[in-house]
Amino acid sequence: MQQDESIINFKKSVKHVEAKQIQTKIIEACKRLYQKNMLASTDGNMSFKLSNEQILITPAGVSKAYLEPSQFAIIDQQGNTLQGNPSSEKLMHLEVYKNCADALCVVHAHPPHAMAWSMTRPSQWEQLVKTLPEVLLDVGNIPIAPFATPATKQMGQNLIPFLPQNRAIILAHHGAVTWGSCIDSAVNAMERIEHAALILTIASSLKESK
């Protein structure tokens, strides 16, 4: 059976049933982010740390709206592929796990309003987002990391000054990355970024039309 084959390599580290549940939760989370317009085309990727040796990660070049269990990849902490065709942004995920002992899940998406702020008003973003109490209570401040070419090692290295103290970070001109100690907390943090950016976008347009 195809689904069982896809998780055969991580049976050693987590119980079979748990591995299946993790895949199911990631598939659901990807659909949720896709519906919220944060995963256009084949954008974005998600990973989950199964053990110190194995990280489950979404595949390269696949729409996350139609992700299937058999398409998941597994990598080790050095980025070697153990199974499947991992996301080209795997090095960024590994940098997060390396620097954040509590991270079990990493989410990368392209939240459009947050990206627009990073492109047009980065310094205002950092000031204004601090004024939203739900942001501070939920994820703390949301800094903007400098741009790096996607899929390069530099992309992960640009995050190092923000880790582990930040678990929601905008990648200038590109997207955002969040992490958490479970799938829900990492996905909620991504939703929080885009919702905050939407509020600030509406507030700034109202201010300008006064």
Residues making contact with Zn ion (CB under 5 A): 175
User: In terms of CB distance, is 64 or 192 closer to Zn ion?
Assistant: 64
- Among residues 14 and 38, whose Cβ is nearest to Zn ion? 38
Q: Which position's Cβ is nearest Zn ion? A: 175
- In whole angstroms, the minimum distance from the beta carbon of 150 to Zn ion comes to 5
Least distance in angstroms from the C-beta of 24 to Zn ion:
24
CA-CA distance, 190 to 127, in Å (whole number)?
Answer: 19
Q: How far is the CB of 174 from Zn ion (least distance, A)?
A: 6
C-beta of residue 176 within 8 angstroms of C-beta of residue 170: yes
Output the smallest distance, CB 43 to Zn ion, in A.
6
Query: With respect to Zn ion, which residue has the nearer C-beta, 6 or 118?
Result: 118
Nearest to Zn ion of 19, 113 (CB atom): 113
Contact 186, 178 (CB under 8 A): yes
The answer to whether residues 176 and 190 touch, using CB atoms and an 8 Å cutoff, is yes
Q: In whole angstroms, how close is the CB of 177 to Zn ion at the nearest point?
A: 9
What is the b/e burial string over 114-126, where b = at least 16 CB atoms within 10 angstroms of the residue's CB? Answer: bbebbeeeeeebb
- CA-nearest of 37, 21, 185 to 100 is 185
Provide the 3-class DSSP secondary structure of residue 35.
helix
Q: Give the residue with the Cβ less far from Zn ion, 156 or 175.
A: 175
